[in-house]
Amino acid sequence: MHRLPSIEEAAASIRTDAVNGLLQSWARSTVVDEHIGDPVIEREVFDALHTTAGFEPSWPEGNAGVLHVYGYWFSTVKTPFGMKRDRWIDGHLAEALGLKPSAFRWNPTAPATLLQRVTETALPLLQEPPRDAIGTEDAHLDDLHTRVVLLRAAGAAATALVYGIDAGEGFRLVTLFPLQGDTDAVLADFTSNPRLRWNAVDPRG
């Protein structure tokens, strides 16, 4: 059984991330899951985490790093793809990115916060997709630039999907998760049907 964080532990990490400016590397997201149509974390958790980060809570939309990296640990809602926290626990995402399965598990003794580890891994891949990416596509919604990058390290059981948005100030992360199934279909739909995806919120308001 893998260890889950307490609210207090998550808050301590968020305070560190806020001081280090890491939350600015993340775009905005909604806690209302696009597949089930309901919030995946409680408002009390949402408000507590955003207040700790120095953001005015604006339910149901918030900082994607706060929500996806920390908030998902406290979700008790099962989606068609399982629990939201599974991406950090089961090791498939980490392995797809060429890391040890434990790379994104909760570890309060690690030298870096979870959000720092995730950001330092994923943001460069979004900004400059590597040549060995199995696929990358860009789509434009007026002046909003979106990008998806798919990566799969040798021997990995899943493909890592990294998604982000550039509203004119450089790419910011929205989410990353392990993907099973037809990656070509994901890329084709991304370009043929430009829209905000994976619970992203338009940063232009």
* 59, amino acid identity: W
pTM here is 0.97
- Give how far Cα 123 sits from Cα of 27, 72, 173, 175, Å: 12, 19, 7, 10
Which tokens go with 3? Answer: 């260890």
Cβ-in-10-Å burial (0-12, 13-18, 19+) of 133 comes to middle
Domain ranges of the chain: 7-192
Residue-wise pLDDT tens for the chain (205 aa)? 788 999 999 999 999 999 999 999 999 999 999 999 999 999 999 999 999 999 999 999 999 999 999 999 999 999 998 999 999 999 999 999 999 999 999 998 999 999 999 999 999 999 999 999 999 999 999 999 999 999 999 999 999 999 999 999 999 999 999 999 899 999 999 999 999 999 999 998 7
Cβ-in-10-Å burial (0-12, 13-18, 19+) of 192 comes to exposed
* Cα distance between residue 25 and residue 65, in whole Å: 8
Phi, psi of 153 (to 5 degrees): -70, 155
